[in-house]
């Protein structure tokens, strides 16, 4: 078996990050060999608002990543997120076809297909069909029914859908750059791959990815993804509030936000709220040289965080699993680094909260192992899990050019199964 190259693009409202990794044949390691993050353009709250702008930004990011990796990128997994994402859980039932009543992979596929047969509006597209659990002759809680004996197989699946128009726009951007799409992956699902532990997923946990323009959510119960959603508020809103509160530009407000973060991490007297924060070294064009810590943290940032937590609480209620997440929240995305995030959250929700930092890759990881890149790293991990190992990438490219499949990962997986002996 040869080494495999995996590539992904994380299209965010703040940054566009491209990544290339190698899955070597003889180790478990997924080694990052190329990575680049560029300021995003043409994306708002997860929606493409300017195709030309986004195409230029993706091109820049991909070219720099290719140069670093010394490898041409042909095939990419792509993140999607934002309030156009919605989810539902659907049930499928089939009779076991085998006369010996042994369940085979084909039965499982038929059951998943039956669950997938939902009617959705033609403005939406399914991007994910994830089995949650199987039921064999009434016995629930089965993770893998293949090899079991039974006459009736049921499956509970989690289905994620996204705006068809937005996916089409993303596809146009990729095809303009000659890139093949390996599959759209919900950003919070990718982040969950790189930050959550198996124990957290088993116990019940909410993955929260606070990006620039939106906050994506993915809820796990009994080890299975059970609810996906997104709220239209992100860390840029905090920047916005600082700009309004201090009467400065958005650029200056972003600088102040990051400076505050740095100051609180490094200074001993940082806990004293009446301390003045010296802004003179930031050389802001506006005439502000100092501001009190208290006015920034308690007066401007905390109220916005409280609003985000309130919206998150509403989403968790809406999921119907509010009492099934004892592991609390794992918060990631650039917004996870906001000052006072954990304290405000614990106060507002009364749930355990930790910050999720991506893990699971080796190689060029110094910059990558920050909450900001949880989705980026997660896309590679998801790709590694879902791409069929036996198919070489050269063949993969050629074959993909010849076929017309939708872009869902499961569809592509199904297609490749026919090549496996
Ligand atoms: N050290 C930090 N302290 C506070 N905020 C930070 C820090 N670093 C980044 N951020 C904030 O994180 C946000 C960007 O997060 P991220 O890179 O996850 O967004 P994105 O993935 O591009 O956007 P989205 O997922 O919403 O489309 C910005 O608003 C930025 O101000
Ligand atoms: Mg993001």
Ligand nearest to the CA of 12: 1
pLDDT tens, the chain, 421 aa long: 577 899 999 999 999 999 999 988 778 789 999 999 999 999 999 999 999 999 999 999 999 999 999 999 999 999 999 999 999 999 999 999 877 889 999 999 999 999 999 989 999 999 999 999 999 999 999 999 999 999 999 999 999 999 999 999 999 999 999 999 999 999 999 999 999 999 999 999 999 999 999 999 999 999 999 999 999 999 999 999 999 999 999 999 999 999 999 998 887 666 677 788 889 888 899 888 889 999 999 999 999 999 999 999 999 999 999 999 999 999 999 999 999 999 999 999 999 999 999 999 999 788 899 999 999 999 999 999 876 433 344 334 333 333 334 455 555 555 455 444 4
* Domains 86-161 and 230-355 are alike in CATH topology: no
| CA 30/CA 379 separation, integer angstroms | 12
Helix 302-319 vs helix 341-349: crossing angle, to nearest 10: 50
Q: Whose CA is nearest to atom 9 of ligand 1?
A: 334
CATH of region 230-355: 3.30.420.40
Does residue 341's CB lie within 6 angstroms of at least one atom of ligand 1?
no
Ligand nearest to the CA of 214: 1
Residues across the chain: 421
pTM of the model: 0.91
Fold of 86-161: Dna Ligase; domain 1 (3.30.1490)
Architecture category of domain 4-83+164-187+360-417 in CATH: 2-Layer Sandwich (3.30)
- DSSP code at position 296: I
Is 43:11 a contact under the CB 8 Å cutoff?
yes
| CA 215/CA 345 separation, integer angstroms | 15
Among the atoms of ligand 1, which is closest to the Cα of residue 15? 22
Tell how far the Cα of 335 is from the centroid of ligand 1, in angstroms.
Answer: 5
Tell how far the Cα of 87 is from the centroid of ligand 2, in angstroms.
Answer: 18
Map out the domains of the chain as residue ranges: 4-83+164-187+360-417, 86-161, 230-355
Is 332:195 a contact under the CB 8 Å cutoff?
yes
Does residue 371's CB lie within 6 angstroms of at least one atom of ligand 1?
no
| CA 2/CA 291 separation, integer angstroms | 58
Does residue 239's CB lie within 6 angstroms of at least one atom of ligand 1?
yes
Helix H segments across 197-352? 198-203, 236-246, 250-266, 293-294, 302-319, 341-349
Over its C-alpha atoms, the chain yields an Rg (Å, rounded) of 23
Does residue 254's CB lie within 6 angstroms of at least one atom of ligand 1?
yes
Does residue 163's CB lie within 6 angstroms of at least one atom of ligand 1?
no
Q: Whose CA is nearest to atom 19 of ligand 1?
A: 211
| CA 274/CA 271 separation, integer angstroms | 9
């Amino acid at each position: 078996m040869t080494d495999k190259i995996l590539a992904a693009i994380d299209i965010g409202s703040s940054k566009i990050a491209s990544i290339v990794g190698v899955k070597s044949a003889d180790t478990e390691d997924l080694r990052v060999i190329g990575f680049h993050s560029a300021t995003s353009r043409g994306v708002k709250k997860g929606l493409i608002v300017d195709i030309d702008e986004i195409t230029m930004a993706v091109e820049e990011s991909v070219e720099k990543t290719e140069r670093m990796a010394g490898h041409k990128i042909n095939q990419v997994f792509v993140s999607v997120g934002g309030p156009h994402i919605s989810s539902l859980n659907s049930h499928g039932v089939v009779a076991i076809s085998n006369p010996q009543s042994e369940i085979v992979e084909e039965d499982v596929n038929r059951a998943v297909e039956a669950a997938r047969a939902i009617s959705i509006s033609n403005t939406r597209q399914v991007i994910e069909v994830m089995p949650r659990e199987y039921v064999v002759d009434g016995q629930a809680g089965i993770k893998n029914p293949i090899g079991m004996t039974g006459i009736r197989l049921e499956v509970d699946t989690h289905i994620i859908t996204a705006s068809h128009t937005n996916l089409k726009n993303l596809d146009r951007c990729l095809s303009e750059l000659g890139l093949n799409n390996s599959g759209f992956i919900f950003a919070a699902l990718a982040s969950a791959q790189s930050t959550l532990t198996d124990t957290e997923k088993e116990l019940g946990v909410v993955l929260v990815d606070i990006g620039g323009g939106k906050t994506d959510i993915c809820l796990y119960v009994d080890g299975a993804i059970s609810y996906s959603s997104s709220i239209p508020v992100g860390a840029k809103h905090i920047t916005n509030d600082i700009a309004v509160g201090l009467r400065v530009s958005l650029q200056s407000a972003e600088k102040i936000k990051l400076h505050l973060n740095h100051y609180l991490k490094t200074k001993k007297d940082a806990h004293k709220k009446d301390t003045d924060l010296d802004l003179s070294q930031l050389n802001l064009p506006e005439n502000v040289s100092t501001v009190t810590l208290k006015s920034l943290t308690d007066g401007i940032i905390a109220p916005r965080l409280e609003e985000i937590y309130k919206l998150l609480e509403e989403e968790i209620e809406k999921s119907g699993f509010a009492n099934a997440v004892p592991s609390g929240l794992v918060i990631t995305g650039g917004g996870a680094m906001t000052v006072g995030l954990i304290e405000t959250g614990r106060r507002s929700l009364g749930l355990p909260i930790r910050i999720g930092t991506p893990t699971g890759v080796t190689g060029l990881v110094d910059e990558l192992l920050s909450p900001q890149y949880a989705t980026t790293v997660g896309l590679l991990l998801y790709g590694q899990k879902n791409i069929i190992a036996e198919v070489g990438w050269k063949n993969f490219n050629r074959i993909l050019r010849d076929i017309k499949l939708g872009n869902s990962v499961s569809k592509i997986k199904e297609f490749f199964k026919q090549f496996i002996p």
